[in-house]
Structure 1
Amino acid sequence: MSFAAAIKDAFDVDSKLEIGKPSQFDVIVDGELIFSKQSAGRFPELQEVLDAMSKRRAG
């Protein structure tokens, strides 16, 4: 399952892809950075992104 499909399924929201710098992968929710590939040094796991989004939405 793609990140976009999983986010749609879990939260009923549409995500969008924005082209950034080469090898950049950031996940931003409501203007807040919740994952940065550059900071972590790796690509995120899908469940990790979903968990961070759940936590962000819970407050």
Structure 2
Amino acid sequence: MPRASRLAAQLQDEYQAEVSLEKGRGGVFDVWLNDQLVFSKHSVSRFPEDGEIQSAVNAHLAAN
């Protein structure tokens, strides 16, 4: 879970947000914001690239 831990720390620093991690099974790597899925490794068949989660979070925040 090192990748998820790094991402959680980045999101906490950048957005002063409360971030929680849940251990998944089978390579799950999903990022949820306000009960909305903003990234799914399963959907794109890869881990997120640098800055991709932040871009998805920014887009979600701008739309809401």
TM-score normalised by the chain length of structure 2? 0.82
Contact 1:26/1:37 (CA < 8 Å) preserved in 2?
Answer: yes
Identity of aligned residues (%): 36
CA root-mean-square deviation: 1.5
In structure 1, the gaps of 5 or more residues are none
Question: How many correspondences in the alignment?
Answer: 59
Aligned-pair CA distance for 1:14: 2.0
Q: What is the CA-CA distance between 1:21 and the residue it aligns to?
A: 2.1
Equivalence for 1:54: 58
**Which residue of structure 2 lines up, in the alignment, with residue 12 of structure 1?**
16
Work out which structure has the larger RCO, using CA pairs closer than 8 Å and 6 or more positions apart in sequence: 1
Structure 1 stretches of at least 4 aligned residues deviating more than 6 Å after TM superposition = none
